[in-house]
């Protein structure tokens, strides 16, 4: 176990950063010094990171971050979500300066984190979801429980009765909201994401449309909720953006193998070289050679192996074609979803 015994930290901090380049260089040096791997995004609106290493290293990292004058009054130990893992969970260390610390594709000056929704603690959120589910069962809810993650995340784990947009990237979220404004009219919206950061800008965007009655968000995201309610209203796995793909808090499996339909929730990358899609394919289907995300990719894979190397094929498959940039939600859908659970 030795080298494997460590953890992965997930955190963010919205604040005004005068010199992002300087913060980026400091952050890079700090992570290298502590032998941490992972990804850190720095912008003039703050910092967002997920890093892995030994427990000694991650502890030191938290200490140094809390002592950094820029974050001193804003970050507290509780803002760091941790899970079992280590440096091996990431291929390398990437620290860079970006326009946004979470890529929504909208100028932070236009839609600011300062206009965010009302933060609810895991306990408050749990109570709200409980109330929402009992009302929805009687067909009289004025609330939408909104998952603002991507489709492949909500597929393997989500809150019961949620509305999960069929989007591939968070930068598609604003268009999703624009196309479905009717759905949010006069509604109370309860939003959630992995660690809370997407809700900060997502709720601000939703609020900027001035159609909802109220917008709430889960503070600390699913990560913090599961620490307190491992057997609560969130069922299935929690998708994470590292080599683990998912972490588990309950035994539920809510998704199925793409090929045979047996219950399965462990993602693998599509075996076709050019493709970046994730696929759910169970061990027995993998044994049969069903390792691609769709027949188009499976076929391409066979062609590529018989072709001279060095030729690249662009990612183009059934999965990408089937998923439009903005799926239109039908209003009845959210009630259907509630009934299913």
pLDDT digits (tens, 9 = 90+) for 41-68: 999 999 999 999 999 999 999 999 999 9
Q: Residue 4: how many CA atoms within 13 Å on its side-chain side?
A: 2
pLDDT digits (tens, 9 = 90+) for 154-208: 999 999 999 999 998 999 999 999 999 999 999 999 999 999 999 999 999 999 9
At 302 the pLDDT is 66
d(CA 286, CA 265): 14
Q: Does some domain include residue 106?
A: no
- pTM value? 0.85
Q: Are residues 213 and 276 in the same domain?
A: no
Q: Are residues 123 and 233 in the same domain?
A: yes
CA-CA-CA-CA torsion sign (52, 232, 141, 216) = negative
Arithmetic mean of pLDDT, 127-154: 91
Q: Are residues 230 and 274 in the same domain?
A: no
Q: 24 pLDDT exceeds 70?
A: yes
* Last-in-domain residue among 194, 213, 239: 239
Q: Does some domain include residue 327?
A: no
Arithmetic mean of pLDDT, 4-20: 92
Q: Does some domain include residue 297?
A: yes
As a whole number, the mean pLDDT across the chain is 88
Q: Are residues 34 and 84 in the same domain?
A: yes
Arithmetic mean of pLDDT, 297-304: 74
The answer to whether the beta carbons of residues 223 and 150 sit under 8 Å apart is no
339 confidence band (pLDDT: 50, 70, 90):
very low
4 confidence band (pLDDT: 50, 70, 90):
low
* Last-in-domain residue among 33, 66, 97: 97
Separation of CA 64 from chain center: 26
The answer to whether the beta carbons of residues 92 and 187 sit under 8 Å apart is no
Q: Does some domain include residue 192?
A: yes
- The question of whether 13 is a catalytic residue gets the answer no
Q: Are residues 90 and 134 in the same domain?
A: no
Q: Are residues 271 and 198 in the same domain?
A: no
324 confidence band (pLDDT: 50, 70, 90):
low
Domain interval for residue 89: 6-97
At 273 the pLDDT is 79
Q: Are residues 82 and 173 in the same domain?
A: no
d(CA 181, CA 311): 44
At 341 the pLDDT is 41
304 confidence band (pLDDT: 50, 70, 90):
low
Q: Does some domain include residue 333?
A: no
Q: Does some domain include residue 336?
A: no
Q: Does some domain include residue 75?
A: yes
Q: Does some domain include residue 103?
A: no
Higher pLDDT, 176 or 114: 176
Instruction: Compute φ and ψ for 260, nearest 5 degrees.
Output: -110, -10
Q: Are residues 233 and 133 in the same domain?
A: yes
pLDDT digits (tens, 9 = 90+) for 222-238: 999 999 999 999 999 99
Q: Are residues 15 and 83 in the same domain?
A: yes
Catalytic member of 13, 31, 89, 193: 193
At 328 the pLDDT is 59
Q: Are residues 135 and 229 in the same domain?
A: yes
Q: Which residues of 77-107 are buried (b: 16+ CB within 10 A; e: fewer)?
A: eebbbbbebbbbbbeebebebeebbbebebe
Q: Are residues 17 and 45 in the same domain?
A: yes
Q: Are residues 143 and 230 in the same domain?
A: yes
At 141 the pLDDT is 83
What's the total number of domains in the chain? Answer: 3
Q: 323 pLDDT exceeds 70?
A: no
* Last-in-domain residue among 97, 128, 161: 97
């Amino acid at each position: 176990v030795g080298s494997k015994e460590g953890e992965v930290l997930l955190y963010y901090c919205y604040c005004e950063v005068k010199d992002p380049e300087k913060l980026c260089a400091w952050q890079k040096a700090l992570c290298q010094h502590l032998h941490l791997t992972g990804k850190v995004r720095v912008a003039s609106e703050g910092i967002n990171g997920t890093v892995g290493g030994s427990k000694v290293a991650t502890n030191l990292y938290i200490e140094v971050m809390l002592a950094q004058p820029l974050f001193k009054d804003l970050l507290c130990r509780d803002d760091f979500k941790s899970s079992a893992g280590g440096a091996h969970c990431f291929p390398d260390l990437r620290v860079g300066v970006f326009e946004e610390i979470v890529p929504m594709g909208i100028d932070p000056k236009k839609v600011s984190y300062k206009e965010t929704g009302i933060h609810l603690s895991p306990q408050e959120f749990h109570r709200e979801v409980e109330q929402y589910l009992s009302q929805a069962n009687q067909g009289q809810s004025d609330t939408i429980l909104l998952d603002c993650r991507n489709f492949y995340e909500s597929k393997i784990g989500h809150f019961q009765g949620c509305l999960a947009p069929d989007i591939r990237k968070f930068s598609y979220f604003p268009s999703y909201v624009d196309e479905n404004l009717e759905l949010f009219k006069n509604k109370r919206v309860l939003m959630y994401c992995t660690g809370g950061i997407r809700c900060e800008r997502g709720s601000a965007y939703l609020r900027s449309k001035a159609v909802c009655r109220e917008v709430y968000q889960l503070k600390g995201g699913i990560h913090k909720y599961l620490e307190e309610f491992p057997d609560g209203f969130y069922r299935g796995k929690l998708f994470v953006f590292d080599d683990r793909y998912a972490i588990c808090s309950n035994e539920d499996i809510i998704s199925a193998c793409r090929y045979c339909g047996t219950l399965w929730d462990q993602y693998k990358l599509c075996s076709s070289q050019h493709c970046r899609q994730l696929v759910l394919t169970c061990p027995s289907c993998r044994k049969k050679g069903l390792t691609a995300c769709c027949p188009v990719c499976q076929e391409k894979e066979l062609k590529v192996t018989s072709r001279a190397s060095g030729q690249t094929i662009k990612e183009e498959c059934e999965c990408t074609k089937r998923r439009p940039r903005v799926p239109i939600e039908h209003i009845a859908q959210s009630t259907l979803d509630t009934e299913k659970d």
